């Protein structure tokens, strides 16, 4: 029997690379979760490192599409980097596949209820033995980014906030209430969140001596990080925004 040693070596090398990358990323476990919010319960997806210990945590807030596969993938990728991640389901299990459906779900969501649910997520993470309670942050996209920032306004113990092309507060009292470091990734061609609004937010936050890191991708449109948004997705800008976000969360929460 003849052996193709080059082929065998290639297979072994591929297996070694795969094993090394898996160990580097970190094994994770993923479970649906229900957590109490007042007299109600709210659902979500909990993704965490498999190894025992205490980890920083990130509350992930979905865009107007709902808790879809892409948001779940972002949560899993964060967990692989050593975070306990709670992706909150603000729509109670509903997910939109087109813009009209997303608009219907968004219009049915009350702001006070969404913020109550996110505060409930924060409180839930505070009770977990695998979470470093002094290192909990929030990250969102689009609608979810705006809510993540609102959570930063109302929760002074939030340790970090990542805002991906989300609406920005303008009330001076709200801005003064943000103590968490903020990182923002925005689109220069966004018709909803205008670059001028982003620049004003950045200037005001710096005048308040707040920690803020803003980047505007000049040629990008709203939703440029989501590959499902085929008309606006920009791979290079998306990769850069993700790298910035991950580095920021590691710096501020770990």
Listing DSSP states for 121-176 in one string gives HHHHHHH-TTEEEEEEEEEEETHHHHHHHHHHHH-TT--EEEEES------HHHHH
Q: Which residues contact 131 (CB under 8 A, 6 or more apart)?
A: 54, 55, 56, 57, 84, 125
Q: What share of the chain is helix, strand, coil (3-state, %, to 5)?
A: 45, 25, 35
Cα–Cα distance measured from residue 235 to residue 246, given in angstroms and rounded to the nearest whole number: 16
User: What domains appear along the chain, each with residue ranges and CATH number?
Assistant: 26-253 (3.40.50.1820)
At residue 32, the pLDDT reads 98
Say whether 242 sits in a helix, a strand or coil.
helix
Torsion-angle region of 147 (φ positive above 0: left; ψ -120 to 50: alpha; else: beta): alpha
At residue 25, the pLDDT reads 57
The edge-to-edge listing of strands for the beta sheet with 212-217 is: 28-37, 40-49, 84-88, 55-61, 131-141, 160-164, 182-187, 212-217
CA dist 50 → 18, 23, 164 (Å): 18, 12, 28
Q: What is the pLDDT along the chain (254 residues), one digit of tens a residue?
A: 333 433 333 333 334 333 333 334 589 999 999 999 999 999 999 999 999 999 999 999 999 999 999 999 999 999 999 999 999 999 999 999 999 999 999 999 999 999 999 999 999 999 999 999 999 999 999 999 999 999 999 999 999 999 999 999 999 999 999 999 999 999 999 999 999 999 999 999 999 999 999 999 999 999 999 999 999 999 999 999 999 999 999 999 99
DSSP label of 10? H
Give the number of other Cβ atoms within 10 Å of residue 84's Cβ: 25
Q: Is 136 exposed, middle or buried (0-12, 13-18, 19+ CB in 10 A)?
A: buried
Q: Which residues contact 181 (CB under 8 A, 6 or more apart)?
A: 159, 160, 161, 210, 211, 212, 213, 248, 252
Q: Which residues contact 20 (CB under 8 A, 6 or more apart)?
A: none
The token pair that represents 75 in the structure block: 């949560």
Answer positive or negative: Cα dihedral of 178, 182, 187, 188. positive
């Amino acid at each position: 029997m003849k052996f193709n040693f080059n082929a065998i070596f290639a297979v072994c090398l591929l297996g070694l690379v795969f094993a090394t990358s898996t160990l580097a990323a970190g094994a994770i476990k993923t479970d649906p979760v229900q957590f109490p919010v007042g007299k109600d319960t709210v659902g979500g997806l909990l993704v965490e490192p498999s190894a025992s210990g205490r980890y920083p945590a990130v509350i992930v807030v979905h865009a107007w599409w709902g808790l879809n596969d892409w948001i779940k993938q972002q949560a899993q990728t964060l967990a692989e980097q050593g975070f306990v991640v709670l992706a909150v389901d603000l729509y109670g299990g509903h997910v939109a596949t087109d813009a009209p459906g997303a608009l219907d779900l968004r219009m049915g969501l009350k702001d006070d209820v969404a913020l109550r649910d996110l505060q409930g997520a924060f409180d839930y993470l505070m009770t977990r033995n695998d979470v470093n309670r002094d290192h909990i942050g929030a990250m969102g996209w689009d609608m979810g980014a705006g809510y993540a920032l609102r959570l930063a306004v109302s929760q002074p113990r939030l340790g970090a906030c990542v805002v991906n092309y989300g609406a920005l507060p303008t009330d001076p009292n709200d801005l003064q209430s943000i103590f968490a470091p903020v990182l923002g990734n925005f689109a220069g061609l966004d018709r909803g969140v205008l670059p001028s609004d982003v620049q004003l937010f950045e200037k005001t936050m710096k005048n308040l001596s707040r920690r803020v890191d803003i980047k505007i991708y000049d040629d990008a449109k709203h939703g440029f990080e989501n590959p499902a948004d085929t008309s606006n997705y920009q791979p290079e800008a998306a990769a850069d925004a993700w790298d910035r976000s991950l580095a920021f969360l590691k710096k501020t929460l770990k």
